[in-house]
Structure 1
Amino acid sequence: MYFHIHDWFPVFLSLRVALIALASVTCFGLPVARLLARREFPGKDVLEAAITLPLVLPPSVIGYGLLVLIGKNGPLGKALAEMGSSIIFTWWSAVLASTVVAFPLMYQSAKAAFKSVDINYEKAARTLGAGEIRIFFTITLPLAWPGIIAGLVLSFARALGEFGATLMVAGNIPGQTQTVPLAIYFAVDAGDNVTARTLVAIITVFSFLVIFWVNRWAKRQNH
């Protein structure tokens, strides 16, 4: 057996899914983390528990929940069907699964980063007439950036390696929804060790290089 050109599809799909999921958790995770890092309100503990729940739930449970949500009888699935669309068993459902499992990592890292920012800098900016959006982008975000970078890396890695929930909502359709973790699992199951070893090597080297680059970047920032 040989590693053919079409065997690269899972790699490209996994990168696409992980990058879109990363963009999603960043856009939604940063505002939520910033809000909950600074505000206290009734029910906050319940909300935070719900946000971080995917960290401890088995992937199959998350996958089943998403299946109920976006399946043909689910609320989102029915709404999409009325518009003549569906995301179940498409690569977009893989994006959704990766986003859900990666979101808590982005939230936790960003929240810790925002909490580490000295609030006095923000107060000083307000006394000088700066608005909240300007304060966020010129003071809070730059000071919290190292912690946010860690969240970005963790979220990307989690989205890239998502397996259980993806299998339940996207299935394993070669050339359509087959990501690297799915391709490795089913290659091993079929006795195709060449494909399995090659994909394992590719994803391991890529992940190592990403982490290595982030560590080097963090060291340069500290000097």
Structure 2
Amino acid sequence: MFVVLPLVAMLLVVDWSRFGELITSESSTAALSLSVKTASASTLACIVIGVPMAMVLARSSFRGLHVIRSLVLLPMVLPPVVGGIALLYTFGRQGLVGEYLEVAGLSIAFSTMAVVLAQTFVALPFLVVSLEGALRTAGQRYEDVAATLGAAPTTVFRRVTLPLVLPGLISGAVLSFARALGEFGATLTFAGSLQGVTRTLPLEIYLQRETDADAAVALSLVLVVVAIVIVVLSRTWLARAAI
């Protein structure tokens, strides 16, 4: 009831007579398109970075491992604005890394790339947690048997490990995509709000709230529908992967 009631309230206050107009305006469609593209890119980045991370956390045992795990999970508990500031002072024009990137002619802050980095920063832990849990549940028995039979490490991962943990990987990727799609604070701080460049749908909703409350509610409902579709599709994929 606590979750459903606010959604019902949104449905009741939506201006249905202008709904199509509100969600198909130039700024709204640009924000939605940008959100889907950047969230997809950040999810791919999470998979590329997160799979090796999860493998290390699940399959390794050395001093300081708990410290590394805590650092990987830190973005989950950090306020998003703090994450945005950290990224700004890392990749900004005068940042720790950004200063050298500027010399090379590469400017990241307040660009579409900044949106992807901000979304990846906050979404990565969700994939790592999900996949690490799947790896620990699967264990190493089948991997050890395959290695004993002479399979190369890459073959073991591709033929044994990946099929075993695929549901966990799908679940983590879906959670990462959903988190990236809804990211606000880190994006605003690190990437700004430039229409067509860095203004994602959550930022568009925030701006519309100040000028056109009906548009803000309509766009919020779109984001809710997208989230529901993601959940339904993920459950379908997980059910198929479990067969």
TM-score, normalising length: structure 2: 0.87
Find 2:120's aligned residue among 95, 99, 104.
99
In structure 2, distance between residues paired with 1:181 and 1:113: 31
Q: Which residue of 2 aligns with 1:84?
A: 105
Q: Which residue of 1 aligns with 2:46?
A: 25
Find 2:174's aligned residue among 137, 153, 161.
153
Q: Which residue of 1 aligns with 2:156?
A: 135
Measured against aligned partners, the alpha-carbon deviations of 1:74-101 in whole angstroms (never above 9, x if no partner) come to: 1221111101120111111010000000
In structure 2, distance between residues paired with 1:217 and 1:7: 30
In structure 2, distance between residues paired with 1:202 and 1:194: 13
Alignment of 1:1-223 (within 5 A): 2-3=21-22, 4-190=25-211, 192-223=212-243
For 1:194, give the aligned amino acid.
D
1:155 Cα offset (Å): 0.4
In structure 2, distance between residues paired with 1:29 and 1:146: 15
**DSSP 3-state at the match of 2:195:** coil
Asked whether the equivalents of residues 42 and 180 of structure 2 are also in contact (C-alpha less than 8 Å), the reply is yes
For 2:57, give the aligned amino acid.
L
**DSSP 3-state at the match of 1:40:** coil
For 2:161, give the aligned amino acid.
T
Structure 2, unaligned stretches of length 5 or more? 1-17
In structure 1, distance between residues paired with 2:69 and 2:28: 40
Structure 1, unaligned stretches of length 5 or more? none
In structure 2, distance between residues paired with 1:13 and 1:27: 21
In structure 2, distance between residues paired with 1:145 and 1:129: 23
TM-score, normalising length: structure 1: 0.95
> Percent identity at matched positions?
38
